[in-house]
Amino acid sequence: MSYREEVINRVITENPRQPEFHQAVREVLESLGPVIDAHEDMYRRDAILERLTTPDRQIQFRVTWVDDTGHVRVNNGYRVQFNNAIGPYKGGLRLHPTVNRSVMRFLAFEQVFKNSLTGLPIGGAKGGSDFDPKGKSDREIMLFCQSFMSELYKYIGADVDVPAGDIGTGAREIGYMFGTYKRLTNLYTGVLTGKGLTFGGSLVRTEATGYGVLYILEELMKAHGNSVEGKTIAVSGSGNVATYTIEKAYQLGAKPVTCSDSTGWIYDPEGIDLALLKEIKEVRRGRLSAYKAEKPSAEYHEGTYSNGGVWSVKVDIALPCATQNELNLDAAKMLVSNGCIAVVEGANMPTTFEATKYLQGSNVLFIPGKAANAGGVATSALEMSQNSERLSWTFEEVDTRLQTIMKNIYAHISDAAKEYGCPDDFVAGANIAGFLKVSTAMKAQGLY
């Protein structure tokens, strides 16, 4: 059995009932063959893969808060600090009922490679809670965030671990958490990113993940003699990443025609009405069914995957921007039969293992989330830089840096794929490039 297979089996045995974590580890380790296999003895002796797949530390804690009816509620809080070989831990906080140890670990593990690809000095972590923000009042959200931070603050810090947003955690939640951190520690530091613009947040952070997806997509298209302009695009989700993916798609001359949420999906042949989408999601915090009410020409399908879901629409490009494993083998087959040429992941691991293999085997250009959505965390790192020097950069300055970072990521993963004999396999390219930097730093720092 190869060293990589041994470690995959070890991860499965030691972490039972953690399918998302197993999936993420398998995807990375399977693609590291060209690096590891030729020097298996050396990597085995140094236990590099065991160290890379075991988190440095993981914290689980109780979050107790009072709802508007006076009842005490209890949730689980988590922070998985996976690897800080190249910089302080960095990664988002997810608030969603599906959060559990497996989801936290897969996200933290992926973050290690993603953060490495940004070229910036940030290690990998993830956290969150199984708290469901849907339908909660502002007061309930604040009480939850205060309670969550009253435990988390012990384990984070501007040079230790810097959390940020993710599903269910936006500017409002980061604001409440920052206020609590400041009160408890008496420190005004860049301990969280995605902060409001009046208290240390960076311009472009809100847009960064979605814009970054389009910047890397444009690089991919250019490298293949094509362009984003004029393309029809399917987007899933309707949160932070989906919204700014749609915005930049329009700016680059494409037509995004779908979006979705956990209750249904929209097909608007005229192109998604961005102003209406922002009004429904960012202002009203409502459901997508409201879109159809105001734009009767659009189709609304109740149920995220009903009638085939967003991936059944005939498009040139698919950009999954909602959640993990939302694009399965059946969806991949529909995309291929409809002539889709590229899938670029805005979300973390939205494509199943089988669907990824099928797309790649069908010559669909595929960029994994750890490369494609890295613009979010990269801009968070730029927020950290601005906080450290106590200055704020202009929108243009941050956006220009983001564009450069996304171009560099494309070049880096594409070069790594070529160098290791698998051109255009951007899954292998991203994993190999991410791995080489982190493992080199780990070795240089000795055993710990």
Q: Which of residues 378-397 bind ligand 2IT (CB under 6 A)?
A: 380
Residue 351 is classified by DSSP as B
323 binds, options ligand NDP, ligand 2IT, none, Cβ within 5 to 8 A by partner type = ligand NDP
User: 23 near 349, Cβ under 8 Å?
Assistant: yes
Query: For residues 256 and 375, which CB has a smaller minimum distance to ligand 2IT in the complex?
Result: 375
Q: Among ligand 2IT, ligand NDP, none, what does residue 235 contact (CB within 5–8 Å per kind)?
A: none
**25: Cα within 13 Å, side-chain hemisphere:** 28
Task: For the sheet with 123-129, list strands across it.
Answer: 57-66, 72-83, 123-129, 89-95, 161-164
CB of 196 to ligand 2IT, least distance (A): 15
- Closest to ligand 2IT by CB, 266 vs 372, is 372
Q: Which structure tokens are listed for 279?
A: 């009004």
CB 135 within 8 A of CB 392: no
Which of 195, 92, 196, 182 is CA-nearest to residue 146?
182
126, 136, 231, 248: the catalytic one is 126
Q: What minimum distance in Å lies between the beta carbon of 310 and ligand 2IT?
A: 21
Residues 69-98 that bind ligand NDP (CB under 6 A): 96, 98
Span near ligand NDP by CB under 6 A; candidates 3-11, 226-234, 235-243, 437-445 = 235-243
Write down the least CB distance from residue 382 to ligand 2IT, Å: 10
**Which strand ranges, in their side-by-side order, compose the sheet holding 299-302?**
258-260, 264-267, 299-302
- If one asks whether residue 55 binds ligand NDP (CB under 6 A), the answer comes out as no
Chosen residue from 123, 124, 127, 239 binding ligand NDP by CB under 6 A: 239
Tell me how crowded residue 406 is: count the other CB atoms within 10 A of its CB.
26
Q: Residue 240: which of ligand 2IT, ligand NDP, none does it interact with, CB under 5 to 8 A by kind?
A: ligand NDP
Among 118, 129, 193, 439, which residue sits at the site for ligand 2IT (rule: CB under 6 A)?
193
Please, are residues 11 and 53 in contact by the beta-carbon 8 Å criterion?
Answer: yes
Look-up: residue for tokens 């927020």? 383
HSE of 293 in the Cβ direction (CA atoms, 13 Å)? 6
Q: Is residue 243 close enough to count as binding ligand 2IT by CB under 6 A? A: no
Q: To the nearest whole angstrom, how small is the minimum distance from the Cβ of residue 175 to ligand 2IT?
A: 15
Q: Is 323 in the site for ligand NDP (CB under 6 A)?
A: yes
Among positions 150-169, residues that touch ligand NDP (CB under 6 A) are 165-168
Strand intervals (E) in 105-145: 123-129
Among 4, 22, 79, 90, binds ligand 2IT (CB under 6 A): 90
In the chain, helix, strand, coil percent, each to 5? Answer: 50, 15, 35
Structure tokens at 326: 């939302």
360 binds ligand NDP (CB under 6 A): no
Out of 77, 87, 88, 91, point to the residue binding ligand 2IT (CB under 6 A). Answer: 91
Establish if 304 lies at the interface with ligand NDP (CB under 6 A).
yes
Q: How far apart are the first and last CA of the chain?
A: 27
126 is catalytic: yes
State in angstroms the smallest separation of the CB of 321 from ligand NDP: 6
Q: Which residue among 212, 376, 429, 434 contacts ligand 2IT (CB under 6 A)?
A: 376
Query: Which element (helix H / strand E) includes 28?
Result: helix 19-31
User: How many of the other CB atoms lie within 10 Å of CB of 269?
Assistant: 12
Nearest CB to ligand 2IT, comparing residues 239 and 376: 376
Q: Are 363 and 108 in contact (CB under 8 A)?
A: no
Distance CA 447, CA 304 (A): 47
Any contact of residue 262 with ligand NDP (CB under 6 A)? yes
Candidate list 164, 177, 233, 406; residue touching ligand 2IT; CB under 6 A:
164
Angle, vertex CA 267, rays to CA 265 and CA 271, nearest 5: 130
348 near ligand 2IT (CB under 6 A):
yes
Using CB under 6 A as the binding criterion, the count of chain residues that bind ligand NDP stands at: 25
Whether 340 and 399 have beta carbons less than 8 Å apart is answered as no
Q: Which residue is nearest to ligand 2IT (CB)?
A: 92
Binding partner of 304, given ligand NDP, ligand 2IT, none, CB within 5-8 angstroms per partner class: ligand NDP
Binding of ligand NDP at residue 376 (CB under 6 A)?
yes
Cα within 13 Å of Cα(179), Cβ side: 14
Residue 322 within binding range of ligand 2IT, rule CB under 6 A: no
β-strand partners of 58:
80
Nearest Cα neighbor of 336 from 352, 308, 355 is 355
| Interface contacts to ligand NDP, rule CB under 6 A | 96, 98, 165-168, 209, 237-242, 261-263, 304, 321-323, 346-348, 373, 376
Active-site residue list:
126
| Interface contacts to ligand 2IT, rule CB under 6 A | 90-92, 114, 164, 166, 193, 348, 376-377, 380
